[in-house]
């Protein structure tokens, strides 16, 4: 009989000890282990082309256009279906991406290093609003923006980080939670803290004044600028808790738009998978739930790390774009204490008397209480090429926690309540 209680405590302590810092920006092909020529990474658990949802297919088409592997949509789709392109989850390469989460070799990525252990994690650069690859759009302006990010913004960020040395993302998240962010759907404050850190150095390293203006306007005008490095930080913290024998703590929750998958600390590389749920939320003018794709993206790594919907009590203003009332934000956080291992030692919520956020989902507790984790999320159109149509709330399927709990029991792990 394994001591799950001790294992969970160990995993939780490792998560708390993790101190992710942003250290570099570089092309994914140069820094993400194993991301070579014919491989494209995507959000969520593994999935084959013919099972992929519209937005994920759209983003892969866009990536193939960006990489110059195809010139037009049909050609890209044919190539993607041909078997000549391999697909793998970002999580298999210590990376995370919001929504479709597609990452191909030429795309610039943030490189996050955990100062406790040196582990590297990765995320793409956020593209801002409107037609964007992460929501499955691949129109020429989408590709052109990605090219500009690779060509201009990424080298500038890289040079700025070289001067700064590092950006402490754990401290940034902690501060943003005191400024009305929850770190998943609302990253307004965090993005401004990020800009505040980068702006002076960017002004110095970007030689061309107009280009400096463009980069600062793009970073500052995007309230999700920091989402991607925050996700890479959350990946670092949850990865630190992974691989503790007997631990029932969830270290990955991710969706590919078709399936929802989790990984559990004591259960190695195995995914527990079930069909994604449909988010409930607020839709942009002209769209409804009929247009929506099921839940998609690696951004649930935020909830897995104790922020996002778990820290929603820090962000009462968020209901303006995900629906609900300020009371809901308080209830969300309070409910999550029932299914988590502990209270975060670094992330806390002023309105709850600076109580630490509910952190580290225990699969046994989810099954035992019947309370599913809460997730804040963006909503993508179900067809390739359209983009975001809303934002809202969702929960994972219960089956993945039941199967994980069963697998833990089979291994001799036991819930101590």
Tell whether residue 155 is a contact of a copy of itself (CB under 8 A). no
Least spacing, CB of residue 11 vs a copy of itself, in Å: 29
Q: Which of 351, 383, 402, 414 binds a copy of itself (CB under 8 A)?
A: 351
Tell whether residue 171 is a contact of a copy of itself (CB under 8 A). no
Token look-up 């590092």 returns: 166
* C-beta of residue 336 within 8 angstroms of C-beta of residue 306: no
Least spacing, CB of residue 60 vs a copy of itself, in Å: 33
DSSP-derived secondary structure for 113-135 = EETTT--EEEEEPP--SSS-GGG
Tell whether residue 169 is a contact of a copy of itself (CB under 8 A). no
- CB neighbour class for 243 (10 Å; exposed up to 12, middle 13-18, buried from 19): middle
Tell whether residue 288 is a contact of a copy of itself (CB under 8 A). no
Tell whether residue 164 is a contact of a copy of itself (CB under 8 A). no
Token look-up 């804040």 returns: 376
Least spacing, CB of residue 194 vs a copy of itself, in Å: 10
Least spacing, CB of residue 262 vs a copy of itself, in Å: 32
Q: Which of 14, 42, 69, 188 binds a copy of itself (CB under 8 A)?
A: 188
Q: Which of 92, 178, 282, 415 binds a copy of itself (CB under 8 A)?
A: 178
How far is residue 363's CA from residue 55's CA, in Å, rounded to a whole number? 29
* C-beta of residue 207 within 8 angstroms of C-beta of residue 220: no
Map the footprint of a copy of itself across residues 200-219, applying CB under 8 A: 200-207, 209-210, 212-214, 216-217
- Half-sphere exposure at residue 367, Cβ-oriented, CA atoms within 13 angstroms: 21
Tell whether residue 353 is a contact of a copy of itself (CB under 8 A). yes
Tell whether residue 276 is a contact of a copy of itself (CB under 8 A). no
Tell whether residue 354 is a contact of a copy of itself (CB under 8 A). yes
If the CB atoms of residues 203 and 398 are measured against a copy of itself, the closer one turns out to be 203
Three-state DSSP state, 380: strand
Tell whether residue 350 is a contact of a copy of itself (CB under 8 A). yes
From 93-101, 110-118, 238-246, 312-320, span contacting a copy of itself (CB under 8 A): 312-320
Tell whether residue 286 is a contact of a copy of itself (CB under 8 A). no
If the CB atoms of residues 143 and 199 are measured against a copy of itself, the closer one turns out to be 199
How far is residue 370's CA from residue 41's CA, in Å, rounded to a whole number? 33
Tell whether residue 167 is a contact of a copy of itself (CB under 8 A). no
* CB burial readout 2-26, b (16+ within 10 A) else e: bebbebbbbbbbbbbebbbbbbbbb
Least spacing, CB of residue 137 vs a copy of itself, in Å: 25
Tell whether residue 399 is a contact of a copy of itself (CB under 8 A). no
If the CB atoms of residues 27 and 220 are measured against a copy of itself, the closer one turns out to be 220
If the CB atoms of residues 121 and 333 are measured against a copy of itself, the closer one turns out to be 333
Token look-up 């970002």 returns: 90
How far is residue 318's CA from residue 305's CA, in Å, rounded to a whole number? 19
* Closest by Cα among 344, 121, 144 to 240: 121
DSSP state of 356: E
Q: Which of 72, 81, 317, 399 binds a copy of itself (CB under 8 A)?
A: 317
Least spacing, CB of residue 333 vs a copy of itself, in Å: 13
Tell whether residue 184 is a contact of a copy of itself (CB under 8 A). no
* C-beta of residue 289 within 8 angstroms of C-beta of residue 283: yes
Spatial CB neighbours of 245, under 8 Å, sequence gap ≥ 6:
2, 7, 266
How far is residue 358's CA from residue 347's CA, in Å, rounded to a whole number? 9
Chain residues that interact with a copy of itself, rule: CB under 8 A: 178-180, 188-189, 192-193, 195-197, 199-207, 209-210, 212-214, 216-217, 220-221, 316-317, 319-320, 325-326, 350-354
């Amino acid at each position: 009989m394994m001591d799950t209680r001790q294992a969970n405590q160990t995993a939780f302590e490792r998560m708390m000890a993790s101190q992710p810092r942003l250290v570099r920006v570089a092309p994914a092909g140069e820094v993400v282990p194993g991301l070579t020529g014919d491989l494209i990474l995507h959000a969520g658990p593994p999935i084959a082309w013919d099972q992929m949802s519209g937005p994920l297919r759209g983003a892969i088409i866009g990536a193939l256009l960006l990489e110059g592997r195809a010139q037009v949509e049909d050609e890209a789709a044919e190539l993607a279906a041909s078997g000549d392109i391999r697909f793998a989850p970002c999580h298999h390469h210590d990376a995370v991406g919001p929504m479709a989460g597609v990452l191909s070799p030429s795309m610039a990525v943030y490189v996050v290093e955990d100062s406790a252990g040196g582990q590297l994690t990765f995320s793409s650069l956020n593209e801002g609003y409107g037609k964007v690859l992460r929501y499955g759009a691949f129109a020429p302006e989408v590709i052109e923006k990605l090219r500009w990010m690779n060509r201009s913004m990424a080298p500038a960020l890289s040079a700025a980080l070289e001067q700064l040395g590092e950006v402490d993302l754990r401290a940034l998240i902690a501060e943003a939670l005191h400024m009305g962010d929850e770190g998943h759907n609302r990253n307004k404050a965090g993005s401004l803290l990020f800009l505040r850190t980068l702006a002076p150095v960017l002004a110095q390293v970007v030689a061309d004044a107009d280009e400096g203006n463009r980069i600062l306007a793009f970073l500052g005008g995007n309230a999700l600028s920091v989402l991607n490095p925050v996700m890479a930080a959350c990946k670092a913290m949850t990865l630190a808790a992974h691989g503790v024998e007997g631990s029932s703590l969830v270290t990955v929750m991710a969706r590919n738009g078709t399936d929802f998958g989790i990984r559990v600390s004591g259960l190695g590389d195995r995914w527990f998978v079930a069909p994604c749920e449909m988010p409930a939320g607020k839709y942009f003018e002209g769209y409804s739930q009929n247009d929506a794709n099921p839940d998609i993206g690696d951004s649930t790594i935020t909830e897995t790390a104790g922020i996002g919907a778990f820290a929603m009590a820090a962000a009462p203003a968020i209901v303006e774009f995900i629906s609900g009332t300020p009371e809901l934000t308080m209830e969300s956080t309070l409910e999550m204490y029932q299914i988590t291992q502990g209270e975060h030692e670094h992330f806390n919520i002023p309105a709850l008397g600076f109580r630490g956020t509910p952190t580290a989902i225990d699969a046994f507790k989810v099954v035992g209480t019947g309370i599913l984790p809460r997730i804040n999320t963006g909503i993508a159109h179900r067809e390739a090429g359209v983009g975001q149509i809303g934002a809202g709330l969702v929960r994972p399927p219960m089956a993945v926690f039941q199967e994980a709990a069963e697998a833990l029991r089979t291994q001799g792990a036991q819930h101590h309540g």
